[in-house]
Structures are given as C-alpha cells and as structure tokens.
Structure 1
C-alpha cells in the first residue's frame, strides 16, 4: 500500500499578490480590531485614569514648609551665591588682574574638586546679582563662569596661573596666562543691564563636602561645611577710582547654615608686606540643587500606567495567536512585516492620543496640589504646562507610555504568549527602578542607563550642570542620563524588539 507523505513545517501562503492588500487597508483593519475588542479600549482608558489619579495622589503626599528664604538669580533660578572677596569698585571700562599662587582646604583636609579662587566682576555684592568670574579650581582647571548657569573651560593648570577680566560696556572677557605676558581669551560674555559702577576683586569659595551612604535599608546623605584658602599676588585694577582700597567682605546668599564653627565663622583677608593676599572663605556660586523636583513629582502615576500599557501592547498581538486569528490575517496578507508595521502604528497612535492628555491633566492637577502643600514661588517655580521644563516632561511621558506598549508588542510576537511578554517587559521597565532605590549608586546608575527604565529620566525638571558636584540619588528623582537621552534608550529597545519580531515572523509559521 502506497501512502503519500504529509509535508510538515510549511506555512500556508496566500497566492494573492501582497500589493493587493494596501497598507492603508491594513491600518484600517488593525484599527477595527482594536476598537471592536472591548477589553483593549477599556485597558487604555484605565491606563489614562490611573496615570492621572496616582499622579495627584503622589503629589498630595508631598508636603513642604517652604524652608528659609532663597536667593534668586535675575532669571528666577534659585541659586547659592556665597563667597569671600577682597573687592573694590570699578567705574566704566577697566581691567582687573591677579596671579593665583595656591588653593587648599583651610582645615588641612581634601580640597573639594569645585573649590575655586580667582577674579569676579559683579553688579553688586547683593546675592543673586549678575556676575562674571574667571577662576582656578581644585580639580577642573581654569574656568570662566557667569550668571550661575554658564561655564567654559580655560584649560588645565598644575601651578600658579594668571587671570584677568576686562570690561568694555556690558561685555566682559576672561583671560588666563601662565607667565603674565602671553594671554589666552577664555570667553567673552554679555551681562545685560550692567551698571556703570560694579564691584571687582579676588574671591575664594568652596562647596560643602557631601557624603552618601547606601544600604538596602535606605540612603543617607550628609553634608559638612568647609573652607578654602586661596593665595594671590599682583592684584591690580585698571580703571578703579584713585586711592580706592581693597575691602574684605562676605557674600552669603543661599549658604546652608550649620552648627559647626566653620559654618559660623566669617571669611578672612590677610595682606602681607609683599602684597600677597590670603583669602579664606566658604560657599559656592552655582544653582541650588538641594530642592525637590516638582516636575518629576507630578508624574508618579506614569510608573503605574506603564503596567497597563505593557498588558495592552502584549495582548494586542498574543490574543490573536491564542485564537488562531493571526493565521487568517497572514493568509489574507502574506507580507507579514506590513501587518506588524500596521499593528505598531495603530497601537502607537491610540496610546499616544490617550496618554498625552492623561499626562497633561495629571501634571496640571498635581501641580495644583503641590502648590496647596507649600511648593510655592519663589522657592519652587510656578510652572506653565506649555513652558519648559514641563512641556518636555508631559510630551516625553506620553511617548514613554507609547514606547512601552510598542516594546510589549514586539516581545509578544517573539514569545507568542501574553503572560510571558507582560512579565519580561514589566521586569525590564519596572524592576530596575525598584532596585535602584537599594543597590549601590554605581550599580543603580548603570541600571538606569542600560535598561528601558532609563526612559523615566524624561520626567526630570531639574538640570544638573556639569560644573556642580551633585550626588544623583534615584529615589529623589535624579537620573544619570539627560531626559531625551534616557527616552532614547527605551526607543532603542522598542525598535530592536520590532526588528526581531519582523525577523521572527518571516522565519516561523503563524
């Protein structure tokens, strides 16, 4: 008896030309599937509702007394503006020059990397007033900084360095030299509205020393006061009034108070018979990074909304595998990657269309709640929805939710099981966030750079300048990557999942 062998492992392919199934018709078909399966719109609606509700509840649990008075820069930035200076007035255009011969910790300890000694030109000695400064630092070479948020490197130095500031109208140029003869321009900046008479002189400052201890029981952060001593010679000012003397003064805006003697002791200036100036002081001239990030605090619901988007993305494809409907789809449309692309586009469109108003509403309600709980100007900004940094956080958080759904879609195609896809994507996105609260900071930072959880950096509203030492604690809303860089990590994962899913569809039966 002769039998005909039955072929195995060969998928059915429609004989219709792929062009017969236009991409627009595929999009319409996938949209029809989405809206007619009641569970999927319901999950999407729940994701939006939970995102809004949890964001407001999280804000309601955050309370502040407002704290002490703050120092504000002209642009409204909360800043620390504290240093010791030997200064005099400068009327009109002029030049101030000095040689910095030494910078060390006043108590014999380790010098802070951003301790600084140099020259400053400042509108007045009022904390927060505009300034430009050129300085030698503890471990970052020569820098020129101005108006608290701007910094330019002047190069490295391993010994005494000459510094100079030249004013021409409202334009101030910083220079450095190794020998006092050949000068290199560092930066020329414009200080708008600079008055005719300003203050110029030598200065010294050093940030507080901060120590972070991390254990599985939590994180503790302590900060201790400190002082730095800078030595200067050849201090001259061309254009200063005749007979003007260098006066010693402390500027102390925004310096945290403390119980130690170093915290309470004012700065000092000593002048030797040979004209060497020794200045000892504390403080810093930089943005104040010690306050909470009210932007990040307004998006706590996104963390929970992610779980719903993971389920939606995974089930949008795995439910068709479970019921065998995908085989019918591929029978009608042999171009499987087109089907995947249509699914991804429809899923992206509906999730973003719902997520964007949800994150906008959640942010608006959370901001109102935070203001009621004491997070008010001037210590905390009154943020408009359409102004930075709120706008990028609202749009970016909606994109985060959308990309998570797409990542789950691609993973669902690869695994063909909803439970497995949901579990894997949830672990990739959520678990690093949880572990970052307990693991040592280097490991926590690595997780928040290398996993999809990096995308939560898009919720940050505080900019961490590179010229300020800052302990980035994930539990306080800080992420090691910049907002859009973090979101790009998640986008890369979602793209990789889709590419692998397309490869899988072409090689495996439905």
Structure 2
C-alpha cells in the first residue's frame, strides 16, 4: 500500500510583520498615534529648556571681584604666567644647563606637588609668550613642558639631593635632558616651537600653584586657598650661545609676591655663582571655575523625568490593557519586539534631546557668560566647537540611553509606578546624596551608576600637570566624557538583555 504524500499548507498571503523593519514601523505607529505620548516628548523638551534657562538666570560664579585681563597663551587660551626670571639672550642654536636644589616651600614647609624650578627658553618676557622648559617638581619628578598645555614626564627626583637639567635648541626643535650627577645624561623628551625668533631668552625660573584646602561636611563643602611660595637654588649654570649678561625680571604681576599674603615679593639673588629664586606665581593653563556649557545643559536632569515615564508606559501600557498578547501573537519572536521598541524609543528620545540641548545651549550660554563676575576669563564658545558639539550631541545620546534603560526596567517590573519611581530615584537621589559623601566615595558612585552618563556634558579641559579639586556637587566627574556615557549605555544594554530574557521565559 502506497503512503500518500502530504504537502504542507502554505498561505499565499505574506506573513504579518515578518521582518524587523515591519516591527519598527508598527512600534513607531503606536508611539505617534497616542497623542499624550507626543505631548510627553514635547514636555521633555520644554522642561529641559526652561530649567536650563532658570539655571542661567540664577547661576554665576562664586568667585567675585574684578581682575585684570589675563594673559593668553599661544593656543589662544587663558593662562597663568607669573614667575621670577633670570635670563640672557640666546641667539640661534644653543643650550642652558643648571644644577637645581631640592624645592622648599614657605617657612621651610614642603612645597606644593606641582611646584617647579628649572631652565626655560622663552620668546620674550611678555606673559603668555611661547616657551619650552626643563624642570624638576616637588611631587612629579622631572618634566618637559611647553606652551602651558604640553607636558612630558621624565625620571624621579630626590628630595634631599640636587638634580641637573639641560635644555637645548636646534632650530625649532628643543630637547630636554636630566642627570643625577652632571655626567650621565638621560633624554626627557622633545618639543617643537615653530616660529620662535632667532634670539630668545634663556634662563632660570621657579613657580608654584597655590595651596588648596577643602573642608567637607554633610550638605556643605568649602574650598579655600592661598598663594604658595617656592624657593630653589641654581648653581653650575652655563649657557652655550648666550651673551653672558644676566638680567632679572618678574614675569606677570609680581606686586606682593603675586598675592602672597605675607607680602614677600618674587625675588632672585646671586652669590658666588649661585642663584636663589623665590616665587609665588605659576606657569600653567587656566581652568575656569564654572563650566558654562555644562551648566547650560543642566535642564536635562529634570527633562528626563517625563521621558522616563513615556518609556516605561511604552511597555507597561500594553501589559495593563492586555495588548501585549496581540503584539506577541503577531510577532512571536519576543526579543525582536522589545528590540524594536528600544530602537523606536531611542530614536525619538535622541531627536527630542537634540532639539532640547541645542535650544538650551543657544539661549542659556550667553546669559551665563554675561553673569560671570569676570567674563573675560570665559572665552566665547560656539555650537560648532568640538567640546560643545560633543556635549550637546552627547546629551541627546544620554537621553536616548535613559529611554532604553527605562523601557527595560518597565519590561522587567511590568508596573508603571514602581518602574518610574525606581529609575527617577536611581538618577536623581545620588545627585542629592553626593555632597554628603566623602569625595572618594562620591567619585565611585559617579563612576559606577547610570549617573556617570552626565559626564558627557563636561567641556572643561583637564591637564595631568594641573591639580584641580573635583567636587561632585559642582558637576565634576572623575571619568572622561565618553567613558561616563559608556557606563550609562552599558547599564541600558544589560538591563535590556535581562528584559528580553525574562520576556522569553515568562508568559505575557
């Protein structure tokens, strides 16, 4: 007996929503056809802009008083450039060598870690003019620094024995060397200064940043400071290519030791071939007290709340109304359904966040800058500047990541109130508590929680050779901008993966 062949039935109709593009279209249709969800997106934009504007009108620096126009470095940035300078003209190629004593601070105390002393070749005595310097520091060994923002590390320095440094010029190329005994020399690094005139000033210098004191208690932090002072002695000084005539100058404002409370002026004295220099100014880039771009985008911290509510409702509303059964029947591949929701939400949140960030910056930044007591220390920035563009676009990415994270939590908890409360608490409560935590603990919270994503809004440059006080309550994040945003994105991806896993294992 022959077994009949059975041909499986195949519908002539195309499968409903068979591909991912069809899923995206279906989820986008859901989002745009629910009117209150569109109003919620608009509310996120409006709230972000309004809160940013309120911050601009009430904001301002806590550093008051008028100050003279600051010097500007070769790259156009504001710099600190004040120190005692013993120098002589150096024409063409040549070198300067000196043995530098250990550094000492005020009244015999230890100098600041970034206190420095060494040899320098500088275009002129004008503050902000180009330079290259080979130096020893109190806490960071030998360094080669140039034009305020460039820094190369060398070897270590003993705190009880002098150290030799040498700086040579060959055209536009400058090379720094160090030695513990004056016989065996080690190369520190090379710097190039294009356009330096044939005759420059080669000499000796000392400089130090000010002393900073931080007192921190729950709910309050006070940061104080005062000018520091550093002294170093130089002997075995030789200049190859100089004219042999030494001149003593104080670069920058030297009245009262650049603000030394004891009124001790910067000084340089010579006895039996040994120069002793005392200074209280610094040679370093200047970092503003307030990140104007970051502050102009602060509204995003409040604007994300309606966005969180929308993202949670985008999944929990289907559970509450039983529509999730219809959705999963039409599209049995549950992971794809949740992924499509995430893509649609992320896209909508990104566009809304981009509009909110651009408008907030354009309206708030000029107002914030005008309200600074010393606006000259805050150069104009434009939306097309690299750090500003990164902060603005990064804010939009941040809001998109928060939307995905909220969707994932909503899918895990399947309860609107619980999910919204959990996310808002996770993003807002740490901001309130940070001021009450020790700085080290607060930095770990900012590194590991979704709050890290707001680091992408910070635009102030950070230099390894400049010590700063990073206070969490002032919006200072201990990680790089993109690294912080990556932490938030990682949270969103992990939680979305858990939500997909749970959706696949549990009936709707």
Q: TM-score, normalised by structure 2?
A: 0.92
| Cα distance in 2 between the residues matched to 1:92 and 1:40 | 71
The answer (yes or no) to whether the contact 1:203–1:279 under 8 Å persists in 2 is: yes
1:135-146 matched pairs, under 5 angstroms: 135-146=135-146
Q: Which residue of 2 aligns with 1:12?
A: none
C-alpha distance in 2, partners of 1:95/1:21? 75
In the alignment, which of 475, 480, 483 is matched to residue 482 of structure 1? 480
Matched, 1:410 2:408: yes
- Of 379, 382, 386, which aligns to 2:380? 382
Q: Distance in 2 between matches of 1:203 and 1:127?
A: 14
Instruction: Give the one of 22, 30, 41 matched to 2:27.
Output: 30
Measured after TM superposition, the shift of residue 132 of structure 1 is 0.9
Shift of 1:19: 9.4
Change (3 A) 1:303 1:297: same
User: Which residue of structure 2 lines up, in the alignment, with residue 268 of structure 1?
Assistant: 267
Report the equivalent of 1:454. Answer: 452
Q: How does 1:242-391 map to 2 (within 5 A)?
A: 244-252=244-252, 258=259, 260-261=261-262, 264-273=263-272, 275-374=273-372, 378-391=376-389
* Counterpart residue number, 2:182: 180
Contact 1:66 1:379 in 2 (8 A): no
CA distance in 1, matches of 2:504, 2:128: 63
Matched, 1:436 2:437: no
* Equivalent residues, number: 490
* Residues 415/205 of structure 1: CA separation in 2 closer, same or farther (3 Å cut): same
SS in 2 for 1:98: strand
- Per-residue deviation at 1:441? 1.3
Deviation per residue, 1:260-305 (Å, 9 max, x gap): 11xx3222223332x2222211121111225321111211211111
Shift of 1:402: 0.9
Give the aligned partner of residue 6 of structure 2: none
Name the residue aligned to 1:425. 423
Equivalent residue of 1:92, what SS?
strand
Relative to structure 1, the CA distance from residue 176 to residue 222 in structure 2 (aligned partners, 3 Å threshold; closer, same or farther) is: same
Alpha carbons 2:212, 2:223 under 8 Å: kept = yes
CA separation of 1:487 and 1:99: change in aligned 2, threshold 3 A: same
Spell out, residue by residue over 1:393-445, the C-alpha distance to the aligned partner (whole angstroms, 9 max, x if none): 10011111111111111111111111111111112222112212332211221
Consecutive unaligned residues of structure 1, counting only runs of 5 or more, are: 1-15
Aligned-partner SS, 1:185: strand
* Whole-angstrom distance in 1 between the partners of 2:17 and 2:386: 47
From the superposition, tell whether residues 372 and 156 of structure 1 become closer, same or farther in structure 2 (CA, over 3 Å).
closer
Within 1, Cα distance between the matches of 2:350 and 2:49? 15
Alignment match, 2:108:
108
Q: Secondary structure at the match of 2:234?
A: strand
Cα root mean square deviation, aligned:
2.1
Runs of 5+ in structure 2 lacking a partner?
Answer: 1-12
> What's the CA shift for 1:311?
1.1
235, 238, 254: which one aligns with 2:237 = 235
Q: Deviations over 1:479-506 (max 9, x none)?
A: 1111111111101111111111111111
Aligned mates of 1:377, 1:237 — CA distance in 2: 42
CA spacing shift, 1:181–1:142, aligned 2, 3 Å: same
1:61 aligns with 2:61: no
Aligned to 1:120: 120
Residue number in structure 2 paired with 1:13: none
Q: CA distance change for structure 1 residues 96 and 28 in 2, over 3 Å: closer, same or farther?
A: same
2:395 aligned partner: 397
Following superposition, the deviation at residue 71 of structure 1 comes to 1.9
Q: Distance in 2 between matches of 1:213 and 1:383?
A: 33
Residue 225 of structure 1 and its aligned partner are, at CA, apart by 2.0
